[in-house]
């Protein structure tokens, strides 16, 4: 029994010695959504995206107006058309209608593509700044603030990242100021 115990102690000490010594890493977190919303580039991208959206909608509206005008003209002139001419006109109107029906889906696809084109560089800039701040300040792990339900204690590094990016963060007061009136106690 003593021999087994001695072998177990030696084996455990060898296993413990074999483990690499790791320093405790600093843990931080950041809300990338909040950071990106504070970047001036985001407002410009949002404005450009809205202008693009309005142009797409206006284009679709013009196509719808053209179709409506063509239908009205067909209805007005159909009495004087030959059957062959009516058939050709109906086919053309159906093509226009089918194109218009797919317009909403095309608008959504084009908006998503434009959004990726505009927001992609902004996301990359924010991510690069987060990585740089983490490296400079010795953070081994930086988590997305809103993604984790349970995590070890960490520091919110949004102030550091904003400073690195020359972005001013509005004051976020989470505790009442000492001069603020206290709410009356319930009776």
Q: For residue 64, count other CB atoms closer than 10 A to its CB.
A: 14
Domain 25-164: top CATH class? alpha beta
Domain ranges of the chain: 25-164
For residue 108, what pLDDT band results from cuts at 50, 70 and 90?
A: very high
Q: Which pLDDT belongs to residue 179? A: 37
CA–CA dist 164, 126 (Å, integer): 10
**Run of H or E residues at 156:** strand 155-156
List pLDDT tens digits, range 120-139. 999 999 999 999 999 999 99
Strands, sheet with 139-144, edge to edge from the N-terminal-most edge strand = 139-144, 26-30, 155-156
Q: In the structure encoding, which two tokens stand for residue 160, read together?
A: 């550091």
Q: What contacts 90, CB < 8 A, 6 or more positions away?
A: 74
Average the pLDDT over 149-161 and give the result.
83
For residue 115, what pLDDT band results from cuts at 50, 70 and 90?
A: very high
Q: Which pLDDT belongs to residue 1? A: 45
CA 129, 133, 138 angle in degrees (round to 5)?
A: 150
Q: For residues 155 and 29, is the Cβ–Cβ distance under 8 A? A: yes
List pLDDT tens digits, range 51-68. 999 999 999 999 999 999
């Amino acid at each position: 029994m003593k021999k087994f115990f001695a072998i177990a102690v030696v084996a455990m000490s060898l296993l413990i010695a074999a483990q690499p010594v790791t320093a405790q890493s600093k843990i931080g977190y950041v809300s990338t959504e909040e950071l990106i919303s504070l970047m001036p580039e985001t407002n410009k991208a949002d404005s450009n995206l809205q202008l693009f959206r309005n142009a797409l909608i206006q284009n679709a509206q013009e196509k719808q107006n053209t179709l409506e005008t063509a239908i009205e003209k067909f209805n007005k002139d159909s009495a004087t058309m030959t059957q062959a001419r009516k058939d050709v006109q109906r086919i053309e109107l159906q093509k226009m209608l089918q194109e218009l029906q797919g317009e909403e889906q095309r608008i959504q696809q084009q908006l998503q593509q434009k959004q990726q084109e505009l927001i992609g560089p902004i996301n990359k800039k924010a991510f690069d700044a987060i990585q740089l701040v983490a490296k400079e300040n010795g953070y081994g792990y930086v988590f997305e603030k809103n993604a984790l339900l349970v995590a070890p204690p960490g520091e919110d590094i949004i102030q550091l990242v904003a400073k690195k990016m020359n972005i001013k963060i509005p004051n976020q007061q989470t505790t009442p100021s000492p001069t603020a009136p206290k709410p009356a106690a319930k009776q």
